[in-house]
Copies of this chain bind each other. A is one copy, B any other.
Amino acid sequence: MADGSEKNAVVSNKKPITGLGVSKVIDSRNPELKEGDLFWGITGWEEYSLLKSSEGLFKIHHTDIPLSYYTGILGMPGLTAYGGFYEVCAPKKGEYVFVSAASGAVGQLVGQFAKLMGCYVVGSAGTQDKVELLKNKFGFDDAFNYKEEPDLNAAVKRYFPEGIDIYFENVGGKMLDAVLLNMRVRGRIAVCGMISQYNCDQPEGVHNLMSIVYKRVRIEGFAVADYYPQYSKFLDFILPYIREGKIKYVEDIVEGLENGPTALIGLFNGRNVGKQVVVVASQ
């Protein structure tokens, strides 16, 4: 099972693409990972991988939950949402939270964390199906399809007449520009990613950065690796919510490694709904 969502996947003629996946140990010379053990971490997009180090691999102890969840809610995206929202955004009850790419693996969790905190949360996504998912399944207070908004600034203002305290940034570009105009004083923007910009020859210009001064805004990028030491604390936090159904999680599962490239490309045009997972083999 490999996960095609990694932006750091590198294509080479000699080596398989790497990505976050869930794997079973076939053979091991590492006493910490024995034959039959399950783990998640960076592996190759291939049926069998030879891993020379266990660095960045996390042993799986809870198997009452679908193993694919360790590519998402219980893996890197889950920890990203957890660290990014609770640590970088420093949310307070009642604050106004906006999440872009909100039905994605990270965004869907950030919105639900925001609701657990007692925040008001609105998400943006690129299809009407995703908008419905945000409102009906994930419990966002509201959601909109950014592709149907000719004026993003007006759209953001419509959903946040009082302004935004926290923006969880996944897309960059024009959306960031619209959000900057609508931030509240001492607002925070946690920059998780800027997917709209990754394949641009020249990244789009962002024009409204003066809001940073006028509104005393903090913009901060972060890396999930900073939160790896908190992984077991994160599991203790999220497992009960998953088991009780209080946090929902949606995946878009594609069968077969041969469909991996299409799944990867689909991420950039929003074809997937929820976390994109490619099933290479069932255990």
Collect the chain B residues with CB atoms within 8 Å of residue A219's CB: 212, 218-220
User: Interface 1/0s, chain A 30-43, versus B by CB < 8 A?
Assistant: 00000000000000
Q: Tell me if A6 counts as interface (CB < 8 A to partner B).
A: no
Collect the chain B residues with CB atoms within 8 Å of residue A172's CB: 209-210
Collect the chain B residues with CB atoms within 8 Å of residue A221's CB: 211-218
Collect the chain B residues with CB atoms within 8 Å of residue A191's CB: 209, 212-213
Query: Is the pair B216, A218 in contact by a Cβ cutoff of 8 Å?
Result: no
Collect the chain B residues with CB atoms within 8 Å of residue A223's CB: 216
Query: Is the pair A217, B220 in contact by a Cβ cutoff of 8 Å?
Result: yes
Query: Is the pair A218, B220 in contact by a Cβ cutoff of 8 Å?
Result: yes
Q: Tell me if A208 counts as interface (CB < 8 A to partner B).
A: yes
Q: Please, how many angstroms separate the alpha-carbon atoms of A172 and B220 in the complex?
A: 17
* Residues of A bordering B, CB below 8 Å: 172, 176, 191-194, 197-198, 202-223, 226
8 nearest CB pairs, A to B: A205-B205, A212-B221, A213-B221, A219-B219, A218-B220, A203-B207, A216-B221, A191-B212
Please name 7 further chain A to chain B contacts, defined as beta carbons within 8 Å, in addition to the given A202-B207, A219-B219, sorted by A numbering.
A176-B209, A192-B213, A194-B213, A203-B207, A205-B205, A211-B221, A216-B222
